[in-house]
Structure 1
Amino acid sequence: MKKLIGSVLAVIIHGLFFQTALAEDGKTALVPLPSVEDFTRGNDGWSFGLGLGVEYESAYEGSDEYDFEVDPAGAVQWRSGDDIFFWAGEALGWRGLRSSTWLFEAAVGLDEGREESDSDDGRLDGLGDRDEDAELVLQVRRAFDADWRYWLDGRVVTGDNGSLGLFGVGRRFGDQNDGTGHEIAIAVVFHDSDFANKDFGIDAEQSAASGLNETNLSGGFRSVGANYNYRHYINENWQIFGEAVYERYSSDIEDSPIARNNYEAEVGAGFIYVF
């Protein structure tokens, strides 16, 4: 996967230096949602945004330990009409707009895994490390009208460690068409047994090494949550963004010794320079 990302990045960098510069007067995003990054300014061809984000988040799924984390922000994108191909962080993907009210997306990314050292309090001691794994993400959003004031969201994440499904509804605030403004969404999340046990299960070997009770979760309802997004251009090139996420776990997850809280929350903010 890392070799694939490296190869694609090399192609993207080549394109950035040899494509004709884009005009700066376009302002229409693929869809006007702050949660969907679009640096193209409505123009076909290459676009590039680079910045930093700071998040205050849990150390791992279900943790009651929180800390700050600084990560790169932005993406490299190539647009052709109503289609955008992108490389963002550890994800390579495509998204396309159809009939003004349907947005489809497919991406391959990496699940970040988990290490015993993620817990400073030793809560993961004996559970071993879980390596990063590739995941396929498929998403579709359906707007109620062409201005994307309200929309429905469906998402599937699947890989070697199981599958997760999300169903949500959202509302956009503001009248901008450049992908800035505010939006809020609520969603319910389901997972299969493999995905549930990836984060919250404890097998016999882990139980013996950690002293925690053996735990085997079944599939079904995982959580209900809310997500808030904000994006704003300070000037022609500088953009600021913010996000807040809250996820309330099901009773099955609450019963796992790994889940130190019955919820997970995070907030983040950052800036991006759009070239």
Structure 2
Amino acid sequence: MKKFTSLMLVVLLQGFLLQTAIAQEEKTALVPLPSLDDFTRGQDGWGFGLGLGIEYETAYEGSDEFGFELQPAGAVQWRSGNNIFYWAGEALGWRGLRADVWLLEALVGFEEGREEGDSDKGYLDGLGDGDEGFELVLQARRAFSADWRYWLVGRVVTGKNGNLGLFGVGRRFGNQVDGSGSEINLVAVFHDSEYANKDFGINAQQAAASGLNETRLSSGLRSVGIDYNYRHNLNRNWQIYGEALYEYFSSDVRASPIARSNYEAEVGVGFIYIF
């Protein structure tokens, strides 16, 4: 009887440990970074998240006007091994983990462009609306170890309005593997002349209509910045996230009449329900 009881205890203990391991496996994110949402709970198949956030941010690139804006949050995802395909708002993309230390990502997104009405004080009057269009974003992160404590990041954005590049380093805080916790990134951003003038250039026609000096920017350093991301699972279904960004413009950008501030900043918080 004692042997039978001991055997049952061993079986029950093994079953408990197995269920615990399965539960932990279900919560393992593709990459444990708070900046990358993963609603698949570590399983192949579909993942869904839907939520809403509020951001306090500058009205447009270079603006000294701030305001609140509601933003939808979440995504539809499909996971297959170390690959996640997703649709999030106006972006359709893929990200994949390779050799545990390489994260590659590609997406196509829609850029809405700046509008004259973005400035409540009329600072953009006469400049017209910016062009809308699709952009291709390619990104790679290279971790120094499989726990993704530190990494290097590079990103290229290309489209009809020019090209932008970002390079930086990041650090993750906490030991969670479910994508919760926090991280911080330090980055330098570069643009070509076409992308620079999309946001900060003023051609002859715009100068005549707005009264601002004609301005033409060349390619080079756009800004240096720091961003912080936070994500916390309140329970199995509810998740809270937060983000903050500060970007300090280069001297060429600050010289543009459109740049009424030397920096861009935003802070946001929101909730997501994971189905």
Common fold, TM-score beyond 0.5?
Answer: yes
- In 2, Cα distance between equivalents of 1:101 and 1:248: 30
Post-superposition shift, 1:110?
A: 1.1
- In 2, Cα distance between equivalents of 1:144 and 1:202: 43
Quote the residue 2:253 is aligned against.
253
Post-superposition shift, 1:71?
A: 1.0
Quote the residue 2:176 is aligned against.
176
Native 8 Å contact 1:24 1:41 kept in 2: no
Question: Which deviations, in whole Å up to 9, do the C-alpha atoms of 1:173-212 show, x marking residues without a partner?
Answer: 0000000001001000100000000000000000000000
Paired amino acid for 2:211: G
Quote the residue 1:271 is aligned against.
271
Paired amino acid for 1:181: G
- In 2, Cα distance between equivalents of 1:94 and 1:24: 26
Q: Which runs of 4+ in 1 moved over 4 A?
A: none
- In 1, Cα distance between equivalents of 2:223 and 2:39: 32
- In 1, Cα distance between equivalents of 2:200 and 2:214: 10
- In 2, Cα distance between equivalents of 1:105 and 1:149: 19
- In 1, Cα distance between equivalents of 2:49 and 2:132: 26
Q: After the TM superposition, which of the residue ranges 79-88 and 111-120 deviates more from structure 2?
A: 111-120
Paired amino acid for 1:171: R
Quote the residue 2:215 is aligned against.
215
Native 8 Å contact 1:29 1:177 kept in 2: yes
Post-superposition shift, 1:24?
A: 7.2
TM-score, normalisation: structure 1: 0.91
Q: For 2:209, what is the secondary structure of its paired residue?
A: helix
Quote the residue 1:76 is aligned against.
76
Rg: which structure is higher? 2
Post-superposition shift, 1:133?
A: 1.0
Quote the residue 1:49 is aligned against.
49
- In 1, Cα distance between equivalents of 2:165 and 2:259: 20
Q: For 2:195, what is the secondary structure of its paired residue?
A: helix
Quote the residue 2:85 is aligned against.
85
| Percentage of matched positions with identical amino acids | 74
Native 8 Å contact 1:224 1:248 kept in 2: yes
Question: Which deviations, in whole Å up to 9, do the C-alpha atoms of 1:65-118 show, x marking residues without a partner?
Answer: 000000110000000000000001100000000000000000000112011010
Quote the residue 1:129 is aligned against.
129
Quote the residue 1:60 is aligned against.
60
Paired amino acid for 2:146: A
- In 2, Cα distance between equivalents of 1:132 and 1:35: 26
- In 2, Cα distance between equivalents of 1:248 and 1:120: 23
Q: Which runs of 5+ in 1 are unaligned?
A: 1-22
Question: Which deviations, in whole Å up to 9, do the C-alpha atoms of 1:4-30 show, x marking residues without a partner?
Answer: xxxxxxxxxxxxxxxxxxx97601000
Question: Which deviations, in whole Å up to 9, do the C-alpha atoms of 1:39-90 show, x marking residues without a partner?
Answer: 1110000000000010000110000000000011000000000000000110
Q: How does 1:173-212 map to 2 (within 5 A)?
A: 173-212=173-212
Q: After the TM superposition, which of the residue ranges 129-138 and 61-70 deviates more from structure 2?
A: 129-138
- In 2, Cα distance between equivalents of 1:152 and 1:37: 19
Q: Which runs of 5+ in 2 are unaligned?
A: 1-21
Post-superposition shift, 1:131?
A: 3.2
In angstroms, what is the RMSD of aligned CA positions? 1.0
Q: For 1:168, what is the secondary structure of its paired residue?
A: strand
TM-score, normalisation: structure 2: 0.91
Paired amino acid for 1:27: K
Q: Residues 205 and 24 (structure 1 numbering): CA distance in 2 closer, same or farther, change over 3 Å?
A: farther
- In 2, Cα distance between equivalents of 1:107 and 1:96: 12
Paired amino acid for 1:219: S
Native 8 Å contact 1:93 1:105 kept in 2: yes
